[in-house]
Amino acid sequence: MMDKIRVRTGLLLSAILIGLPALPPPAASAETRPPAVIDELQSWDVAYKRSSTLSLLSNMTNTDDTTRVQRSAAYNEYLIYQAPYGFGSFTVYTYVNELYKPYDHLQFFTSSDGVNYQEVIAQQYEDGGHLNLLVYEASDLPAGARYLKIRYSGGVILKSPSIGKVVLGSPASVQASVYSGIAALGTQVALSTPTAGASIYYTTDGTDPKTSSARKLYTAPLDIPASEVLDLAAHAEITDGMGRKIGGRISRFNYAAMGPEDIRVAAAADTMVDEAQPDKAFGSAQNLGVRHSRVKDAYFTFSLQNFNALSDTAKLLLHGYASDSTREPASLQLYPAAGGWDEASVTYRSRPALLSDTPLAVKPLAYGLPGWMQFDVTEYAREQKALGRTSITLALRNGTQGTTQIASRETGDRAPFLKITSGGGLSPSGVVDGMDSFALLYKRSNILISTNDTPYFAGDGSRFTRLSTQPGFIVYRLESGVRSFMVSSYFYTGIPIVHNRLYTSADGVTYKELAATVYPSGSAAGNWQQYIYEASSLPEGTQYVKVEMSGDSKSWTPQLSRASLNQHTSSVQVNTAPVDSSLKVELSTPSAPAQIFFRTDGEGGFKTYPGPITLSGYHTIEAYAVKNGLEASPVRHFKINATGQAQIDRYGQVISTDFAGKVRSDEELAADAAADEAYYASLQAPANRDAYGGLKGSSWTYGIPKTGFFDIRRAGGRKVMTTPEGNVYFSLGMNGITPNETYTKVTGREHNFEWIPQFTGEYRAAFLGSQDNFSYYLANKFRKSGRIPSTVSFYTEAVDRLKKWGFNGAGAWTPVQVVRGQSFPYTVMLPMASVTAGKLDGLSLFDIFAPGAAEQMDKAFAAALPALKDDPMLIGYFIDNEYDYHKFHTAVPKLKGHTAMKRKLVDMLRSQYVTMEAFNASWATPYTSFDQLYDAELTVRPGQAYLDMDAFFRLYLDTFYGTVSRLFRQYDGNHLLLGDRWITMTAANVRVRGLLAEASGKYLDAISINHYSAQLDKDMLNDVHTKSGGKAILLSEFSFGTAEQGLKPIVPGSAASQHERQLRYRTYVEGAAALGYVVGAHWFDYVDQAAAGRYWEGYGGERYNSGLVNVADRPYKQLLEGIMATHSKIYDVVMGKTGPFQE
């Protein structure tokens, strides 16, 4: 039943190294690509074939390509390229003249042999320019493509694109998740390319992302700023098979943001004037031209009726582009101008006068595609409003010779407008600290500024961290009061996270801890994960906020990155409600009204939240919020199980089972902290115990000598274990003082769980190494205390509790590294798992006859045992756990001849029977030679064959136990050899247990049995004790459980309630103690197993109610009352002073 795997994480003497930081994952290797073919068309050398009528035009100006292909009037002219190693994509750069639309587009064909061609359809991109750049691009070409044919269509030269450059094996264009134009405030733009493994580089300053020193590597979606237009240029880049960097087409995107409370004021009038046509009115023109030479100016009038001069901002947004043969960037200058004009009649001669020679704003406009541009006119609007004016007129001039075209109010969506923002930006009563200095701090302690390793911190080049591992803190002060607070903190997740603590104060003297919302944001980089701490509605009168950092592992974690006081939008919250077979999901923010953005399962860019959404299936939602005048909230991740198949709730409890004490909210768990403290403080460990949990003074009473180590003696006519002080010791041990049994496998069956946290988030330490296995028990510990315990702190807390409940030792399945130095007796497994020579596939027996087995055992013992040889807290060693001794007689004869054990059996039979006739007669077999027996699957029938296997079992046990005992005592003569923890089926087999008991009596100090039974089997125990020659017996595992909380009872039918569990415990333990030779009983285990099954057994793992505490770390108090009652009187029962408990 409890057949533990032999190699458990951290359970064997040599299995764990503690304190090593997690290493960052290795970087993915670049995909191997064929060499690209690049033709700049400086000559015909790169082309494979071409029509002889094609020619090259050189010394071209006004384009990025100084030579271009010129077609003739001939039909079906072509150009062919060969890529010997193949290609999967191509890009062709051409130039067209808009006057000759529609164009006669190029046609494209690919071939694997240069003979048979297949047409492919290329994507077309018109990228603008004085001579318009038209780019053709295709990817995911037919497999095996090695030739590209470009064919001209039509017969009109001027309607055909002129080819400037050809690239085979180029990366595909960068795509944006949001169309260029006006976007909702808070929108993020995600960039992508279909080319696998390509890097994306971008600029936002108008420079070329291929060559600019300002270019950046794209790693995460980009914010569209509230105060500026986002001009984004991006391209994909790969490394080809020759190690060359190959860049793709440059994609350009342009965005302007509008908040949900922004007011869009359309132009009441607009026009342009032209010095060359001084008497012409252009009030109905679609495009307004502005240029310096042969003056063209544009004018706009806007109402100020909805503008609040005290708090609002005003931004002028215009849509246009610079386009001239000079390719010179425009220098746009905005001036105040006189009003009172009529767009239908104003001309150059009657143009409005400029009210100042100094422009309100000057903005360069790079040569390129049409897009939005923005001018801040807030101060001028406030000035005019203060003078009682109800409108403003603005004049736009160009300081360069080129012409800039501006869309007029007649163009609809591209029309000019004034954006009025309520609140005018960030509040003057708040603070945003980028942590590049200490200037904004009121006070600090043990703090320095860190500037290294910026890639781990999303490019943040300045952060606060500690000088030493002592606690450090920073304090902010705002006399106007702190209403909300947010701080970003990065933690190195390779070591246990100790979260920051936040405090508030009204006077800077008395501080009260602040309950902040804590969540991870973004993905981890190099094991560094960002966490956000935020709190809204701080106590009235708060003027001081303190952030305290701690953690004694490393001083450089955590690192504070950014703080915001009164300046942030509160993060998004999620609520769900079932609707039929789906789930209604509502997103909200305490900062309402605010705009919420979300996306599902990481697909595409973030979308504006339209209201409640209905989901089916299992999904991840990412969301953030933006409010006018405040910074956007960080992105939060929510896993939504809308499958209707959830079986385990967010606290690790079975959803379908209701029971008293079931956790229903985080607040309940938080309240447990105080209740736990009161409960455990009320407990007292049993009196009259020595330092090891033995009966104090019994050494003197029974004349037992002190040996300095645990021992087996006789006292008062009974077989007893004794402590190093010589006192009687009944081992009330606890198996599995680790959270190991609480981990469950979550990957591959996410729909079974109501909630699984983000792996890189605050619950990272509740995962077991990877995102596959998760402990809801540890997650609940975090909800209670704000910390996930380390292996050591978990054990320390558990031991403190166990001592108060009367337990006096650690059984198996607890890491030896944590038990040492805890003043709590413990047992250890011999390192048999590392002796690979003795392993048998599919059978849990140690092949002591295998070549090298004894030698490997010797080396393993020599490496592990001397370190613990002189530890008085060590009781002794178990050989191993639950060998398949009950299968020995039937399974060993079926082994193959490559196993030493089978060969040893056959050799024994050969020596015993001499002839095959004699063997066949006894075993009822038809074999002709003993050599045939090596690989034969022998069947053991009642009679002589069983007697022969008895003899071989004795030989095996004498050899195995004899070798183990000899080597063990060679390296440790101080501690007890406690047997090999017979499985229940072995102990129930009269024949097998008799032979085992006989051999154990020769070599072992005690016999250990994992005895799972509703009732203590005294007949079995008496039989073993007698046949062993009077050896002591240790009940190394037992337990009782119920199905009350949806778990399985570990022994079916043994208990229906916690009350019955305590009755079974009392009857079992006291009954064993009264026998006079049982020296201990070890309960399995400390914490209930995971409700979805323990992790290493996959989806069908054990899920027993076996613990003293449940998944919420709530103790089974009724069970424990009975346990404590037994423990308080256990030595009276052991020594026969009182009878055992009887139900």
List the one residue out of 401, 413, 371 whose CA is nearest residue 290: 401
pLDDT score recorded for residue 30: 41
pLDDT in the model for residue 62? 54
pLDDT value of residue 741:
96
Classify the phi-psi angles of 59: left when phi > 0, otherwise alpha if psi is within -120 to 50, otherwise beta: left
Q: What HEC string does 564-629 produce?
A: EECCECCCCEEEEEEECCEEEEEEECCCCCCEEEEEECCCCCCEECCCCEEECEEEEEEEEEECCC
Task: Work out whether strand 199-203 and strand 431-433 pair parallel, antiparallel, or are unpaired.
Answer: unpaired
| Overall CATH class of domain 263-421 | mainly beta
CA separation for the pair 83, 166 (Å, rounded) = 12
| DSSP state for residue 439 in the 8-state scheme | T
Which letter does DSSP use for residue 405 in this model?
Answer: E
Q: How far apart are the first and last CA of the chain?
A: 26
What CA–CA distance (Å, rounded) separates 890 from 912?
20
> How far apart, in Å, are the Cα atoms of 783 and each of 517, 665, 928, 1115?
12, 10, 71, 16
Distance CA 281, CA 271 (A): 8
> Which stretches does DSSP call E strand in 660-789?
711-715, 718-722, 728-729, 733-735, 743-745, 773-775
- Asked if 338 and 355 count as a contact pair (C-beta separation under 8 A), the reply is yes
Q: Are 815 and 10 in contact (CB under 8 A)?
A: yes
Q: How far apart are CA 691 and CA 723, in angstroms?
A: 9
Extract the runs of DSSP E, i.e. beta strands, from 601-681: 607-608, 613-615, 617-626, 636-642
Cis preceding-peptide flag for 102 (omega within 30 of 0): yes
Instruction: Note whether 832 and 880 are within 8 A (CB).
Output: yes
990-1003 helix and 1018-1027 helix, angle to the nearest 10 degrees: 50
- The pLDDT assigned to 22 comes to 31
Sheet with 718-722, strands from edge to edge, namely: 711-715, 718-722, 728-729
The rounded average pLDDT for each run of 10 residues, N- to C-terminus, in the chain (1143 residues) is 34 28 32 88 95 88 76 94 96 91 95 96 85 90 96 93 95 94 88 94 90 89 86 95 94 91 94 96 95 92 93 93 76 96 96 96 87 95 94 95 92 95 64 94 96 86 95 95 94 86 95 88 84 91 96 93 94 88 92 89 85 93 88 89 91 96 93 94 96 97 97 96 98 96 95 88 86 96 89 94 98 88 94 95 97 97 97 98 97 97 98 97 96 96 96 98 98 98 97 98 98 97 98 98 96 94 98 98 97 93 96 98 98 97 90
Q: Which residue's structure tokens are 């006057």?
A: 99
Q: Cβ contacts of residue 99 below 8 Å, gap of 6+?
A: none
Q: Where are the domains of the chain?
A: 37-169, 174-258, 263-421, 431-565, 582-642
Level-2 CATH architecture, domain 174-258 = Sandwich (2.60)
C-alpha distances (whole Å) from 531 to each of 489, 498, 591 are: 5, 12, 20
Burial class (CB in 10 A: 0-12, 13-18, 19+), 90: buried
CA 403, CA 337: separation in Å to the nearest integer? Answer: 21
Amino acid letter for position 723? T
**1108: three-class secondary structure by DSSP:** coil
H or E, element range at 1018? helix 1018-1027
Residues 6+ apart with CB under 8 A from 674: none
What lies within 8 Å, CB to CB, of 468 at 6+ separation is 446, 555
Amino acid at 823: S
- Closest listed residue to residue 466, CA positions, set 531, 532, 408, 547: 547
Best CA proximity match to 518, nearest among 575, 478, 558, 552: 558
pLDDT at residue 759 in the model: 82
Q: How many CB atoms lie within 10 A of CB 651?
A: 23
Q: Let me know if the fold of 174-258 is the same as that of 582-642.
A: yes
The pLDDT value recorded for residue 1020 is 98
Position 433 scores a pLDDT of 95
Reduced to 3 DSSP states, what percent helix, strand and coil does the chain have, rounded to the nearest 5? 20, 30, 50
Fold of 37-169: Jelly Rolls (2.60.120)
Token pair in block for residue 75: 């039909």
Judge whether 92 and 126 are in contact, CB under 8 Å.
no
Judged by DSSP in three states, 34 sits in: coil
Over the Cα atoms of the chain, what is R_g?
41
CB within 8 Å of 803: residues ≥ 6 apart: 685, 693, 824
**Phi, psi of 1131, rounded to the nearest 5 degrees:** -75, -25
Beta partners for 607?
598
Domain 431-565 has CATH 2.60.120.260: yes
Q: CA-to-CA distance for 535 and 518, rounded, in angstroms?
A: 9
CATH code linked to domain 582-642: 2.60.40
- Entry field: residues in the chain: 1143
811-847 pLDDT tens trace: 999 888 888 888 999 999 999 999 999 999 999 999 9
The pairing of strands 528-535 and 517-520 is antiparallel
B/e letters for 943-977, b = 16+ CB within 10 Å, e = fewer, are eebeebbbebbebbbebbbebbbebbeebbebbbb
C-beta of residue 936 within 8 angstroms of C-beta of residue 927: yes
Backbone angles phi, psi at 605, to 5 degrees: -90, 175
Q: What is the pLDDT of residues 66-78, one digit of tens each?
A: 899 999 989 999 9
CB distance 304 to 390 below 8 Å: yes
